[in-house]
Amino acid sequence: MREKAAGLRLTIDLAALAGNWRRLARLAAQAECAAVVKADAYGIGIAAAGPALAAAGARTFFVALPEEGVALRRALAESPVPQAPIYVLGGFFHEAAELYAAHRLSPVLGHLGEVERWRRWQERGQAALHVDTGMNRLGLSLEEAENLARSGGPGEGVDLLLSHLACADEPAHGASEAQLRRFLEAKALLRLPRASLANSAGIHLSPTFHQDLVRPGIALYGGASHPQAVSDPVVTAEARILQVRTVPRGDTVGYGAVETMKRTSRIAILAAGYADGYLRAAGSSDAASGALVCIEGHLAPLVGRVSMDLIAVDVTDLPQGLAAPGRWAELFGPNIDINAVARHAGTIAYELLTGLSRRACRRYVGQEG
């Protein structure tokens, strides 16, 4: 019934998600392959993604915030690994210390104040330590890491050293090698049991970057992470066709009158827009073409601006009657590359996936078992 009343439907292929994880695990065969499921598993739903990844073989997970860790722990309750380590990249929220204890969450300690609070906390379990090697976001500087090593290290239970690559998606960029050198220096200083540096893109760098554990994120969900990356689409987004109308040559379509019809055209109006996470910048104008959609195997270009709830597409060249009210147009999925849509919108697949609307009808396919 939900789909009958929806303007946007999302088909989420959990078998493709599992297949992407297995492919990455093979690429980093000498290291453990974890799974990053922050931002509600990049928009696809942590309650479904967590168990699917666990069934595929993932044994360690990363989230951004403790509340995400709580949701994941609950999702894993009936999975093969209900006690799997869950690392919180945002660190140790001491005001929420009881959540870390109750749900066995492991903070990634990112500054000396957190390290000290962690040392004083009586109920601590496992934790990781983040060193900054060039991103300049979270993490201890190398000088701080050296001082910490001299003072006895981060404390009991800290079993993983990690850092994050800034430019791994650009193979020719020298920043990754420089970060690796700094990371190995920190690793030698702190001597923690395990180390993790590679994100999705970093998995495609040399095996030295893999260390003991790799942390894929976007590559699990079908987004591009590296020029050599192969990732199957996980999300298919489709918008309902509401109406097909004829627009005379010389008329404009949509807000701002930014696109003028160069011929009399058939225009299909779709029930999705930027309120659903389909970004306004993906639209078209007289100055620049926009993204494409796919209707029954035929491509159709956007016309004019994307509005809050509606998108216009030109179906003039499609067979008569193929685009009809009640049918569905693919916004991205197996026929429309999400990365191409993102480029038209001046962004990346991460933003499209994590911005997917809560009002969309979601259906999950490909569950194992």
Enzyme catalytic residues = 38, 255
Neighbours of 126 (CB within 10 A): 16
SS3 347: coil
Residue 185 burial class via C-beta count within 10 angstroms: exposed 0-12, middle 13-18, buried 19 and up: middle
DSSP 8-state assignment for residue 252: B
56: closest CA among 104, 103, 16, 10?
A: 16
Other Cβ atoms closer than 10 A to 289: 14
Would you call 127 helix, strand, or coil by DSSP? strand
144-151: long-range contacts, CB 8 A cutoff, minimum separation 24: 144/111, 144/112, 145/186, 145/189, 145/190, 146/189, 148/112, 148/115, 148/190, 149/189, 149/190, 149/191
Burial of 79 (0-12, 13-18, 19+ CB in 10 A): middle
Q: Name residue 257's amino acid.
A: A
